[in-house]
Amino acid sequence: MKKTNIALATAVTGLIALAGTMASTSAVAADGAKEKCYGVAKAGKNDCATKTSSCAGTSKVDGQTDAFIMVPKGLCDRLSGGSTEAK
């Protein structure tokens, strides 16, 4: 009976620790700085209006140079075709 209780207590403690770690990681990712990245959105997947349309999700082609998506700060420069300014 004692071995079962110890195993159960260990498992519960591990799950609580894991949940706490995941919660703090999610909070850091959600609070991180974001930037607009132009030229990398797939057709119909842009985050906001473009020069030729007024709604999100209305870009006509992949990589449209005036359509952007929000990405973590610093990532856009590493994406092929990505730019922090509309062209």
68 pLDDT band, cuts 50/70/90, is very high
Q: Mind listing the pLDDT tens digit for each residue in 14-65?
A: 557 656 655 544 444 556 799 999 999 999 999 988 777 788 888 889 999 8
Residue-level pLDDT at 78 = 93
Residue-level pLDDT at 19 = 64
Residue-level pLDDT at 50 = 78
CA distance 82 to 5: 55
Residue-level pLDDT at 83 = 92
Q: Which of 24, 1, 25, 5 is nearest to 13 (CA)?
A: 5
Residue-level pLDDT at 31 = 60
